Amino acid sequence: MEPVTGVSLWELIRHLKQWLINLTRANSARKQQSITALRSVIIAARSTAAYVRALNDTGRQSHSTEATLSEQWTRLGFELSDLGLEKLAKRCEIKGRYWADPAQFDDDFLAKADVSLQRMEQLARQLVAEIER
């Protein structure tokens, strides 16, 4: 498996800027698709945060909820990839795989992959703001 850890924040920002330049040339339907997908990242991050809070408060794991989160993040990965946001798509794909089986990744890999819920929501918000300008 090729590690995601080789992607620097600078590379990600450069990629996102190029994507935004290309998006400014896109039609309004494509822009709306992008906004919708990015807002879905924010919703997924918040849904996941709510589950993690419940898990921490109760100690009760829900395989059903984790399967739903896995599907949600995986679908987002596909949508973002279709829109050309490969680096954010890869992060969503990792989240989807994580919720399908959390034991497959260690904490070090997850930290280096920069897939925290806060970071992913922040990136999505920044992109939505750029598109809406």
pLDDT at 5: 47
CA distance linking residue 127 with residue 125, whole number of Å = 5
Residue 41: closest CA among 93, 112, 113:
93
Q: Picking from 11-15, 51-55, 93-97, 113-117, which range would have the lowest pLDDT averaged per residue? A: 11-15
> In this model, does residue 42 exceed pLDDT 90?
yes
Residue 88: closest CA among 98, 77, 72, 97:
77
Percent of the chain clearing pLDDT 70 (strictly above):
84
Q: pLDDT tens, 16-27? A: 777 666 666 667
Say if residues 63 and 109 touch (Cβ distance below 8 Å): no
CA distance linking residue 28 with residue 6, whole number of Å = 34
pLDDT, mean over the chain: 87
Q: pLDDT tens, 85-113? A: 888 999 999 999 999 999 999 999 999 99
Cα torsion at 126, 67, 93, 95 (round to 10°)? 60
Q: Is the pTM of this model over 0.75?
A: yes
Cβ neighbors of 45 (< 8 A, separation 6 or more) are 117, 118, 120, 121, 124
